[in-house]
Structure 1
Amino acid sequence: MNTLGLSTLFRMGCLCVRESVDINGVKYTVKDRLGEGGFSCVDLVEQSSTKKKYALKRITCHSIDDQKLANEEISYYKKLKHANIITLIDSCIKGSADLVVQTTSEAYLLLPFYKRGTLHDYLVLKSCTKNYLNVREILRLFSDICEAVRYLHHFSPEPIAHRDLKTANVCLTENMEPVIMDLGSCAPAKVQVCGIQEAQRLQDIAAERCSMTYRAPELFHVESFCVIDQRTDIWSIGCILYALLYFKSPYDIVYERGDSVNLAVISGNIPFPEETPFPMELHNLILSILKVNVTERPFIEGVIESLTNLKRKMEFAV
């Protein structure tokens, strides 16, 4: 009787070997790949003993600097405690990154798994049938996102900016509550830029970490002598609010046309559909947030105040 080689069995699917990961003595089995980027990926994993599912973010570190950034991300997860910000369940770093000897390490961040996926996923489904969210739902979701942002912007001892707020970085719980995730772009909210080199460095970081269609104008061309503050996030949540109405950021639409997002952002022109089911007050709220001149853009308190006034005007509970 002929026998098949091991490699043949794998190709034929006769064997199914699941990768397992050990995090601080607890074993998890990798079930599926949920997403991936340049230097990280997110897997669906299952704890072997309880069968409970989690999301596992894995960051490949090629240098000591990469490993430092991974540790900083873990640090942000550990110290931020808010109902609308994702919770870190466990973490560890395995291996040692060194460019000289060409070794890498891997950071493991164990996070909750949200079956509903992200706000981006939800809006894509809605857009397929032009099934607009109702105003009450829009204001509820946006209010919760704003509260999480307020928590970040008032964090002590130093305010924090997320720097990559977008619908794809907002998970949805079973009860449709928004939860901000991906804290890898978080940084001190206020940055004093002194000189061309510092400006270029910040601009390069923004280009790498901040999604273009949600990126604030001042991060596209960082001035040589300026102060960048938490109002970069305000621009981003303005784009999120637009997406809650029309499924995408206004600059996603520009990007998909193949036009320059940079030019569209600095133009200050926000395109609204001619036919809309929404009251003009919502458009006006978006316009009050998406101010190209950062000095005209409100801080989070101003956004929440405008939102509260709009709720009162539309006879919704505060």
Structure 2
Amino acid sequence: MVSMDIPSSFANWGFMEELFISRNKLNGTILNQVGAAIISLDHNSFTGSLLLEVDNLENIREMDISENKLSGEIPNTLGKCQSMELLYMHGNWFQGTIPESLKNLKGIKGLDLSRNNLSGQIPKYLEEFHFLQNLNLSFNNFEGEVPKGGIFRNASAISVVGNSKLCGGIPELQLPGCLKQASKKREKPLATRRRNSPKKASSPSSTENQWLRVSYADILQATDGFSSANLIGVGSFGSVYKGLRECFETLVAVKVLNLLQQGAFKSFAAECEALRNIWHRNLVKIFTVCSSIDFNGNDFKALVFEYMPNGSLEKWLHPNVDEQPQLRCLNLTQRLNIAIDVASALDYLHHHSKIPIVHRDLKPSNVLLDDDMVGHVGDFGLTRILSEAAEGFSQNQTTTSGIKGSIGYIPPEYGMDGKASTHGDVYSYGILLLEMITRKRPTNDMFRDNQGLHHFAKSNFPEQVMEIIDPTFLFKDTEAIQDSENRNNLRNRMHNCLVSLVNVGVSCSAELPKERMKMRDVVMEMNAIRDLYLEVGIH
């Protein structure tokens, strides 16, 4: 890594095909004469305004100037970049509105303007960008109504979190309704303005500065004084409460960190760092964070998430006696859908997020279910961001201090070399999938004398698969079918489906990392299994 300005001689090189000088310590201003089809200047320390020569714009396809210290307004000349497909400007100090000239970028596929000081309304013309697949406008100062057309119809393709004055939009965004004559003095609870000078997130303290702030008093009121009646879960580093604020117009889940627990501060920083860079329909959506002081002068930290009314997958697979187990039974289609939801979330984290991430703690209690029983992966307190891997390790692994994760779901290699990797998440997914099929925990006493859930499933594959699966959903799926022929046809399809699912689970939880599937292949296989099972219609 070097610390220097861009050499002025670059201006004499004319138009280049590609210019990659990311992740250095380059500073000064960006030369407006530099031209290339693909420009990557991200993660440096460039300052000043972004000025671009018009003659160099028409052939630019990709520009990444994120994570710098650029300021001023977004230049109108960007509207000349009509070949632009990807534009990443997040993590700077840009201010003002999104210029009207950007409506000319009709072919753009990815646009990230998050974590700046941009203001004004979200332009309606973004609805007309038919090729746009990802739009991130989070953590700015945008206000007014969120559009509902085009990409704004897909909640998993956009992010507008961290803009406390936005309203409307599709219901999935869970924003307050727009009032015709809203008071300018009215402020949303559980959300306050962030500081106007964001800093590069390089430590827990600076990471927290990227988030909107809420006070301890807000959290206290929302959870009714951390009432035990609102307690919905207890984890390694804290407790989760259900909360409600009138003006917020929705229930929220508040994760309160136990800062006396060793590793809690690190967990909070890891979760903030991971969640600010990702958004996907199968990840639990974060609304804001609280880094404050309680009434006794002690540090207080909490995260505010979307509330999941159907609780965790753990509660559905292993309900308590007082939770009416007979009513908590997932049929095969539901289990298929949830398993695909989880696989899709991991595939996104590993292969499609801006910064590849290893979750490291996948288990049923960290899979939450919404009103429609859609699965959402949560709890990123143990994540590792792969781009920050220590020198000397490959891009798909990073070192850890001791074994992290939950017993039964930790891959065997973590106990030998302590290297977290995407392969480890695949192992955890395989165990979770087998648990969903058999309804047996990997820590079940029956596994003490053998090699665990993986070996149990593998030793019964494929001939005895029907003898190890959870019998409850067999009855639940077939009880309403009176005709014996139709019932037998359904049982045959279920058998074929379950054999395929056990095969995926066993493949993912193989002892050797290199023998495990990749999550992108898991998603394809799981979708194919579901399509085959449902192809003649299951009602």
TM interval, shorter chain, is 0.7 to 0.9
Distance in 1, matches of 2:325 and 2:391, equals 43
Distance in 2, matches of 1:127 and 1:217, equals 36
Distance in 1, matches of 2:272 and 2:505, equals 33
Contact kept, 8 Å, 1:193 with 1:228, in 2: the verdict is: no
SS of the residue 2:413 aligns to = helix
SS of the residue 1:92 aligns to = strand
Contact kept, 8 Å, 2:289 with 2:302, in 1: the verdict is: yes
Is residue 43 from structure 1 mapped to residue 241 from structure 2 by the alignment?
A: yes
Report the number of matched residues. 275
What amino acid does structure 1 have at the position aligned with 2:317?
L
Deviation of residue 156 (structure 1)? Answer: 4.4
Is residue 187 from structure 1 mapped to residue 384 from structure 2 by the alignment?
A: yes
Contact kept, 8 Å, 1:63 with 1:104, in 2: the verdict is: no
Contact kept, 8 Å, 1:42 with 1:57, in 2: the verdict is: yes
Query: How has the CA–CA distance of structure 1 residues 47 and 312 changed in structure 2, closer, same or farther, with 3 Å as cutoff?
Result: closer
Contact kept, 8 Å, 1:136 with 1:316, in 2: the verdict is: no
Deviation of residue 312 (structure 1)? Answer: 4.5
Partner of 1:286: 505
Contact kept, 8 Å, 1:60 with 1:105, in 2: the verdict is: no
Partner of 2:529: 310
Query: How has the CA–CA distance of structure 1 residues 121 and 131 changed in structure 2, closer, same or farther, with 3 Å as cutoff?
Result: closer
Return the match for 2:372 from 157, 175, 181.
Answer: 175
Return the match for 2:305 from 104, 111, 130.
Answer: 111
Query: How has the CA–CA distance of structure 1 residues 64 and 292 changed in structure 2, closer, same or farther, with 3 Å as cutoff?
Result: closer
SS of the residue 1:183 aligns to = coil
Partner of 1:269: 455
Query: How has the CA–CA distance of structure 1 residues 296 and 29 changed in structure 2, closer, same or farther, with 3 Å as cutoff?
Result: closer
Is residue 241 from structure 1 mapped to residue 428 from structure 2 by the alignment?
A: no
SS of the residue 1:221 aligns to = helix
Is residue 24 from structure 1 mapped to residue 218 from structure 2 by the alignment?
A: no
Deviation of residue 154 (structure 1)? Answer: 1.7
Contact kept, 8 Å, 1:86 with 1:180, in 2: the verdict is: yes
Is residue 77 from structure 1 mapped to residue 275 from structure 2 by the alignment?
A: yes
Deviation of residue 114 (structure 1)? Answer: 1.7
Deviation of residue 174 (structure 1)? Answer: 0.6
Partner of 1:58: 256
Distance in 1, matches of 2:261 and 2:507, equals 43
SS of the residue 2:417 aligns to = coil
Query: How has the CA–CA distance of structure 1 residues 202 and 127 changed in structure 2, closer, same or farther, with 3 Å as cutoff?
Result: farther
Deviation of residue 52 (structure 1)? Answer: 4.0
Deviation of residue 184 (structure 1)? Answer: 0.8
What amino acid does structure 2 have at the position aligned with 1:270?
F
TM-score (norm 1): 0.73
RMSD: 3.6
Partner of 1:10: none
Deviation of residue 188 (structure 1)? Answer: 2.1
Deviation of residue 129 (structure 1)? Answer: 4.5
Return the match for 2:424 from 232, 240, 245.
Answer: 232
Query: How has the CA–CA distance of structure 1 residues 131 and 77 changed in structure 2, closer, same or farther, with 3 Å as cutoff?
Result: closer
Gap runs ≥5 in structure 2: 1-189, 192-212, 475-493
SS of the residue 2:232 aligns to = strand
SS of the residue 1:184 aligns to = coil
Query: How has the CA–CA distance of structure 1 residues 220 and 104 changed in structure 2, closer, same or farther, with 3 Å as cutoff?
Result: farther
TM-score (norm 2): 0.45
Bigger mean CA deviation after superposition, 239-248 or 45-54: 45-54
Gap runs ≥5 in structure 1: 1-20, 97-102
Partner of 1:301: 520
Deviation of residue 107 (structure 1)? Answer: 0.9
What amino acid does structure 2 have at the position aligned with 1:160?
I
Is residue 259 from structure 1 mapped to residue 457 from structure 2 by the alignment?
A: no
Contact kept, 8 Å, 1:189 with 1:228, in 2: the verdict is: no
Query: How has the CA–CA distance of structure 1 residues 312 and 66 changed in structure 2, closer, same or farther, with 3 Å as cutoff?
Result: closer
Deviation of residue 63 (structure 1)? Answer: 9.8
Query: How has the CA–CA distance of structure 1 residues 233 and 189 changed in structure 2, closer, same or farther, with 3 Å as cutoff?
Result: farther
Query: How has the CA–CA distance of structure 1 residues 164 and 275 changed in structure 2, closer, same or farther, with 3 Å as cutoff?
Result: closer
Partner of 1:220: 415
Equivalences for 1:110-129 in 2 at 5 Å?
110-125=304-319, 128-129=325-326
Distance in 2, matches of 1:106 and 1:194, equals 37
Poorly superposed stretches of 4+, deviation over 6 Å: 192-195
SS of the residue 1:234 aligns to = helix
Distance in 2, matches of 1:130 and 1:50, equals 32
